[in-house]
Amino acid sequence: MEKIVIKSMTGFGKGEAKGKSGAFTVEIRTVNHRYFDLSSKVPNGMVILEDRIKELLRKDIKRGKINLFLSHRSPEKDTGSITVDKDAVNKYYKILSEIKKRMNIKEEVRISHILSFPDVIVREQKSFDIEAVWVTIKKVVIKAASDCNKMRAREGKALYEDLSLRVSRISGYVDSVSGLAPGVVVEYKRKLDSRIKDIANNQAIDGARLETELAIFAKQCDVSEEITRAKSHLEGMIKALNEGEEAGRKLDFILQELNREINTLGAKANDIKISRIVINIKSELEKMREQAQNVE
């Protein structure tokens, strides 16, 4: 059985089915959004089913902007009832005749003029047996949601692979910083010794003052806590990626915390090599934030 990974919030699905009331088609398009946000367009006689459709979709789609389009095609033998609104015809004819007289227009009022008004021809809305119709619509919505989820799962797999690769890269960078950090104090001591000797002109150096200065510097540039927390956040990210569904919000929070630790690390490190690594880490984090925005 294939492992369940994160899902993308971007997808498309379509479902079709026929019933006694005709043929139904549902199309679902989803994009990223902070919450579950459904916008549906259904035939007038079926608006009452929107809440049921919403609850049905919530089972498969936890987060995202969802646009759902439900269309209905009646059976060929059922053409519906078409009538002419005689009152509307009389009113429009009277108005057009008045305009013709007032504007001194020679052209006669024609039937095409009257038919150009949309409310002259009336198509009566067919009533539906809602419970009978719902049986078919439910199947169509489930099919469309299933297709959409398959696409979201494929996109999610690509996101999973990309984010996992970047986590691995950042872990390597953090390990490099961990290896370089102890040498920062050693190098600072060497430079400080050299500077003091030049200033003191080979006179006696206050060892206690030197040790105090080094201790202060070591405390200021100690990044061990930031490294520990960064590694913890990276472990949390791997766990969130492998837990599968609804990882988006958790990933977003972890990335914020990780970015905060890396910024602090870069400010404290006081070393050109570490600074260059921090730049690489921040570049990876920026790409990860963009990717994570589309994770359900």
The verdict on residue 175 lying in a domain is yes
**Total of domains in the chain:** 3
Do both 57 and 137 map to the same domain?
A: yes
Q: Could you tell me if residue 244 is left (phi over 0), alpha (psi between -120 and 50 degrees) or otherwise beta? A: left
Using one digit for the tens of pLDDT, what is the confidence trace for 20-59?
888 999 999 999 998 999 999 998 888 899 999 999 999 8
Cα distance between residue 65 and residue 79, in whole Å: 36
- The answer to whether the beta carbons of residues 294 and 34 sit under 8 Å apart is no
SS3 content of the chain, % helix, strand, coil (to 5): 60, 15, 20
Do both 40 and 143 map to the same domain?
A: yes
- The answer to whether the beta carbons of residues 30 and 63 sit under 8 Å apart is no
Spacing of C-alpha 229 from chain mean position: 27
The verdict on residue 66 lying in a domain is yes
Do both 64 and 116 map to the same domain?
A: no
Encode the chain (296 residues) as per-residue pLDDT tens digits: 456 578 999 999 999 998 888 899 999 999 999 899 999 999 888 889 999 999 999 988 989 999 999 998 877 655 556 788 888 888 988 898 988 888 888 888 888 888 888 888 876 656 678 888 899 999 999 999 999 999 999 999 999 999 999 999 999 999 998 888 777 666 666 665 565 555 556 555 556 665 665 565 556 667 778 889 999 999 999 999 988 767 899 999 999 999 999 998 888 777 788 889 999 999 999 999 999 999 99
The verdict on residue 27 lying in a domain is yes
The verdict on residue 85 lying in a domain is yes
The verdict on residue 2 lying in a domain is no
Do both 86 and 59 map to the same domain?
A: no
Q: Which domain holds residue 198?
A: 154-292
Using one digit for the tens of pLDDT, what is the confidence trace for 61-93?
989 999 999 998 877 655 556 788 888 888 988
Instruction: Tell me which residue of 265, 240, 292 sits closest to 173, measured CA to CA.
Output: 265
Cα distance between residue 226 and residue 263, in whole Å: 9
For residue 31, list its beta bridge partners: 65
- The answer to whether the beta carbons of residues 167 and 234 sit under 8 Å apart is yes
266 burial class (0-12, 13-18, 19+ CB within 10 angstroms)? buried
Cα distance between residue 45 and residue 218, in whole Å: 74
Do both 178 and 59 map to the same domain?
A: no
The verdict on residue 1 lying in a domain is no
Q: How many CA atoms lie within 13 A of 116 on its CB side?
A: 8
The verdict on residue 51 lying in a domain is yes
Do both 135 and 193 map to the same domain?
A: no
Do both 19 and 148 map to the same domain?
A: yes
Do both 20 and 41 map to the same domain?
A: yes
The verdict on residue 275 lying in a domain is yes
